Chain A
Amino acid sequence: MILEMNNVSCGYKGKIIVDGFSAAVSSGEIFCLLGPNGVGKTTLFKCILGLIPLMGGSISVDGRNTRELTASEYAKIIAYVPQAHTPPFSFSVLDVVVMGRTTNLGMFSQPGVKDYNEAASCLERLGISHLSERVYTEVSGGERQMVLIARALAQQSSFLIMDEPTSNLDFGNQARVLNTVCMLAEQGLGIIMTTHQPDQVFQCNADVSLIIKQSKYISGAANEVITEKNMREAYDIDVAVLDARYKEYELRLCRPIINSQE
């Protein structure tokens, strides 16, 4: 499947924030949105999810315009993984994951044995079956993020949209979540995620769109887009992009230059 954004414009209350954005994501690919705070990553994101109206252009899946789909049909194509959060009620982890089945249930039905099994297998796929009976609000931030990914998997959609999946996580959990993201892409899911860390784009070997300002985007493969010149233009800081070898790994790193004297 292919998700295409053509000349997308969106914003709030008549004020256009993102203008003329185009990109395409296929199944099995990871696509990152990178850019400074306030440049409209979240806005674009909500627009792709259909949470705010499209002001111009089109978003289509396999040539089919997404604006013609109902919330339920759309949920079968794209699942949303929000940042790890704390909901007001203390549902069990399995209950949270089974909520991903909503789109497959009738208006008046409740999830049954089949749905609970599906939810349990999503937990297993991510290696977090042991959390199943725990209370969602009481597990750690990293675990909650994984549970939310499991919930999105239970939705059985072709694409996942992830909002800064590693924000607020510790060093180890960041790596674990990123690993999971890469694994899911290898298994054939198309993934769109926002991030603040250019290194993650290299790590996932992803395509990326660097949003520099309202209508200026640089899109392409990680190596082409994340360059010293482009990063300086987007963030107005000096950046070093380095190549390194570690054992059998070829690494590419992106590092800002901190020089407090000047």
Chain B
Amino acid sequence: MDTAGLKDSQADGSSAAMQPFLKSARKERLILFALFLALIGTIAVSLTIGRYGVPIRQIIEIFAQRISGKGVSEANREADLVLFVIRIPRILLTIMIGSALAASGAAYQGLFRNPMVSPDILGVSSAAGAGAALGILMGLPSVQVTILAFLFGVGAILLVIALAKVIGKGNSVMLVMVLAGVVVSSIFRALTSLAKYVADSDNKLPEITFWLMGSFAKSGSIRNVKIMLIALITGSLPLLAMRWRINVLSFGEEEAKAMGINTAQMRYIIIACSTLLTAASVCLCGSIEWVGLIMPHITRLMVGPNYRSLLPTAMLSGGIFMLVVDNFCRAIIPGELPVGVVTSLIGAPLFIYMLLKGRSDWA
């Protein structure tokens, strides 16, 4: 009999069903690739930007000399120093922090089932800010300020989880957690204000203020790049590995559980990862708002809401966005604009624009 016909119809049946999936998978890969090229391009441009001008040709020359192993020529020594000690670490750190914030924002938006959620919804940033302000107030060296900020950030989340456990007692844990986050945030912001109030207005107050505004100016060092790399890998790998399940979680705790997900376990993994990513970013570079909120948003417009592609794409575009903003900060005035201010100035109107454009990604 016509087994060939049967085979054909089977192949047709499966490929027809697979069409939309394959089509979107292709589109997602294409966008990911395009963003990767964009990132390379942005890095190349970023290397040339700054007060010490290094033209592209010289950059290529330096790279060629380094790779050849013959060492950098005398004429390029100064430019080499600028590139490898200052500019490249700063670029790498900027990209990683953009990625970290975007990843943690995207994960939280799925967990809290709300596209308006940002990485500091549970109070990580405010607490880390308070920790840093306290450290500066006590006159601690910068490494210890960083550590204190990180500990405060993590501590705040533990406090939120404990509060949610005590108050929530099983039902509506997520809602209680958000409320606890608001309360904890508010307390730490008050502490920050107090620290500013008692700080010496000649040296410590400006330092606290500058820290809180967020900047890469002082943090671009090889050491920080290494720290952030470890935080980024530890925090984002579990999220990336479980990203399909974040989709299911976004249908709500009850449905996710009925679909076979251990929701409590997953909730804590996501919170732990996001906290690590955000706390590490904030303690190295101060609080940088909006990136974690709008990058997942913009990415959702590009690749749709499926975390399969949303998470990696958001991380890439987060890195690019952060790098572009930082370049802008470095180039626009002779001194330097605080990057946190610029992300807010760009992010907020961009967000309004997207709301007006009104694709109903939320209802």
Contacts and interface: CB of A to CB of B under 8 A. Distances in A.
Contacts of B362: 88-89
B17 A120 contact: yes
B114 A50 contact: no
Given A49-B254, A88-B113, A116 B17 contact: yes
Given A50-B257, A87-B113, A94 B306 contact: no
A88 to B, nearest CB: 5
A105 B17 contact: no
Interface in A145-165: 155, 161
A127 to B, nearest CB: 15
A236 to B, nearest CB: 30
B50 interface: no
Interface string B247-273: 110111011011111110000000000
Nearest to A87: B251
A7 interface: no
Contact of B361 (A13, A89, A116): A89
Interface residues of A, number: 50
A117 B22 CA distance: 12
B89 interface: no
A51 B254 contact: yes
Contacts of A111: 244
Contacts of A121: 17
B155 interface: no
A17 B250 CA distance: 29
Nearest to B114: A88
Interface stretch (A18-26, A77-85, A172-180, A223-231): A77-85
Contact of B360 (A50, A74, A82, A137): A137
Q: Lowest 4 A-B CB distances belong to which pairs?
A: A103-B260, A75-B260, A120-B17, A80-B258
B306 A102 contact: no
B20 A70 contact: no
Contact of A90 (B260, B261, B360): B360
Contacts of B250: 87-89
Nearest to A93: B20
B170 interface: yes
B305 A75 contact: no
Given A71-B260, A88-B114, A103-B260, A82 B363 contact: no
Given A95-B247, A99-B259, 4 more contacts: A73-B260, A88-B115, A88-B362, A132-B17
A117 B24 CA distance: 16
Contacts of A95: 247, 306
A74 B363 contact: no
B258 A49 contact: yes
B18 A52 contact: no
A109 B169 CA distance: 32
A246 interface: no
B362 to A, nearest CB: 5
Contacts of B263: 71
27 contacts: A13-B169, A53-B170, A78-B258, A79-B258, A79-B259, A80-B258, A80-B259, A86-B363, A87-B250, A87-B251, A88-B113, A88-B115, A88-B250, A88-B362, A88-B363, A89-B250, A90-B361, A91-B247, A91-B306, A92-B20, A95-B306, A99-B259, A111-B244, A116-B18, A116-B21, A117-B14, A137-B360
